[in-house]
């Protein structure tokens, strides 16, 4: 096995590859997971990235590699932020693997913005192309050649054949690609019904729901190690040029208004993280910690009360409908959250968190009681009610963001809000996307902000600043009230 000494690695020559494909369902994710685990089992430090707004694949990447997966998305992030994220996370790793999304050139417009190809170009990263070889031999070469020449700034350096039927199938496809496309075939993976992860309406099931995660990842790694040339992949990754300049910090400059060092406070913010609520970008949590927060993990499934002296609560997305019965059973925690919200605790909730704060979640067969802090119910539907990137404009009737600020995010939910009270105030006007009713998102009540919209802290640094400002004010108000009672 080729090895790469970290001491010998040029600090800007990050060995890296983008894993691309002609289309979704080509086998990118299972191949990537097997590759990550195969390298990790050989003692290599491998850094995973996932292109686009994806929580679930990223959690599987983290499990496979043993290092936290990061997302790269040019819709939220500036070019220097993308390159800086790769640099910061990869500088002490042997190899970096970036899994793409959908087809290589699929983006938001004819220019391919926010595509996997754009990430490859922005970061000058070579592409390893995974092709579903079902019912194709020589034609694969024509397809690969088209992808090679479609954009001369995208460098496809190798091909992995997936779902190969037999030896003759592999031989014909391999020879055609290497003759006409002049790039190597570095692997040929046979058809295997076990090379998959169960999925549902939002994609794969989450890692936390699957009891045999490591066993499955090891199986993927066994298949990849047997049928893919790992040494050749390392060589291709080492051929990557220097990363573009990324000297500018990706951490936003903090204004005096949000600089907590001057106030000497360390507010305690609870984050509900469990199998029901697992959709969090690591940068969001890091942004809160970077501003001085003490982050406290909470489970809505097993903790029966909120921690003492919380100054804020963050509830991310996930699958509360899957765990609705267990969430309903934990009546004491639901009551704690409802009372805390009524007392003014700052609470920020995204998608699944929004659903949890409502009165109930309704499935096709049952109705489950939730926190009841906000006046609505959510109903599960058979198809997405909101899906894709979003652009929102902030309303003045909220205290989390500046007025008329543009907030970029994304949504993907099969639930819809029903029985919404008419007096509800919204914090966001939908410019792109669906939100709660096609026009608004971000229900505001006291210090609660609950939206279908997901944000990424690098694209929306004011979110963390707003949460910390509210948490600090809440912390100070508690002490002021305590002093008044003692006086």
The catalytic residues are 351
The first and second tokens of residue 118, run together, are: 């754009």
Which residues neighbour 316 within 8 Å (Cβ) at sequence distance 6 or greater? Answer: 271, 272, 273, 277, 278, 279, 280, 350, 351, 352, 353
Question: Would you say 240 and 126 are in contact if contact means Cβ atoms under 8 Å apart?
Answer: yes
Measuring CA to CA, how many Å separate 135 from each of 72, 166, 181? 33, 11, 19
Rounded CA-CA distance 109/119 in Å is 15
Which residues neighbour 484 within 8 Å (Cβ) at sequence distance 6 or greater? Answer: none
The first and second tokens of residue 61, run together, are: 């990447």
Buried b (16+ CB within 10 A) or exposed e, 209-235: bbeebeebbbbbbebbbebbbbebbbb
The first and second tokens of residue 296, run together, are: 């406290």
The angle that helices 139-150 and 167-180 make with each other, rounded to 10 degrees, is: 40
Residue 377, H or E segment: strand 377-380
The first and second tokens of residue 188, run together, are: 């040929």
The first and second tokens of residue 283, run together, are: 């940068």
Return left, alpha or beta for 419; rule: phi > 0 is left, psi -120 to 50 is alpha, else beta.
left
Question: Would you say 441 and 453 are in contact if contact means Cβ atoms under 8 Å apart?
Answer: yes
Q: What does residue 432 show for φ and ψ, rounded to 5 degrees?
A: -145, 130
The first and second tokens of residue 32, run together, are: 């990537």
Q: How many CB atoms lie within 10 A of CB 439?
A: 12
């Amino acid at each position: 096995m080729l090895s790469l000494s970290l001491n010998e690695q040029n600090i800007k020559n990050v060995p890296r590859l983008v894993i691309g494909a002609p289309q979704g369902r080509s086998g990118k994710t299972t191949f990537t997971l097997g590759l990550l685990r195969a390298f990790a089992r050989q003692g290599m430090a491998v850094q995973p990235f996932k292109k686009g707004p994806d929580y679930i694949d990223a959690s599987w990447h983290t499990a496979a590699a043993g290092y936290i997966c990061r997302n790269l998305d040019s819709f939220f992030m500036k070019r220097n932020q993308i390159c800086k994220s790769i640099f910061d996370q990869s500088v002490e790793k042997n190899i970096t693997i970036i899994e793409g999304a959908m087809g290589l050139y699929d983006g938001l417009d004819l220019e391919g913005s926010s595509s996997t190809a754009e990430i490859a170009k922005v970061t000058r990263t070579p592409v390893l192309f995974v092709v579903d070889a079902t019912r194709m031999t020589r034609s694969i070469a024509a397809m690969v050649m088209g992808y090679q020449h479609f954009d001369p700034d995208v460098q496809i350096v190798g091909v992995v054949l997936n779902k190969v039927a037999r030896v003759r199938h592999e031989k014909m496809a391999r020879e055609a690609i290497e003759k006409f496309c002049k790039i190597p075939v570095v692997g040929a993976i046979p058809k295997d019904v076990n090379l998959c992860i169960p999925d549902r309406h939002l994609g794969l099931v989450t890692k936390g729901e699957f009891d045999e995660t490591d066993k499955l990842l090891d199986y993927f790694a066994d298949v990849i190690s047997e049928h893919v040339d790992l040494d050749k992949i390392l060589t291709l990754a080492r051929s990557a040029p220097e990363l573009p300049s990324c000297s500018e910090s990706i951490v936003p400059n903090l204004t005096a208004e949000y600089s907590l060092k001057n106030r000497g406070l360390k507010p305690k913010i609870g984050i509900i993280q469990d199998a029901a609520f697992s959709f969090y970008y690591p940068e969001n949590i890091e942004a809160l910690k970077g501003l001085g927060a003490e982050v406290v993990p909470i489970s809505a499934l097993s903790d029966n009360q909120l921690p003492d002296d919380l100054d804020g609560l963050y509830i991310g997305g996930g699958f509360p409908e899957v765990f609705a019965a267990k969430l309903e059973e934990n009546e004491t925690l639901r009551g704690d959250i409802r009372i805390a919200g009524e007392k003014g605790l700052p609470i920020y909730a995204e998608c699944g968190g929004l659903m949890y704060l409502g009165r109930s979640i309704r499935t096709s067969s049952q109705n489950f009681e939730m926190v009841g802090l906000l006046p609505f119910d959510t109903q599960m539907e058979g198809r997405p009610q909101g899906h894709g990137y979003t652009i929102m404009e902030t309303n003045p009737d909220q205290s989390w963001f500046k007025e008329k600020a543009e907030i970029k995010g994304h949504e993907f939910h099969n639930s819809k809000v029903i029985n919404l009270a008419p007096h509800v105030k919204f914090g966001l006007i939908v410019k792109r996307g669906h939100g709660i009713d096609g026009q608004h998102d971000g229900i505001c009540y006291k210090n609660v902000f609950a939206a279908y919209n997901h944000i990424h802290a690098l694209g929306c640094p004011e979110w963390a600043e707003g949460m910390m400002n509210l948490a600090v004010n809440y912390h100070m108000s508690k002490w002021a009230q305590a002093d008044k009672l003692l006086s």
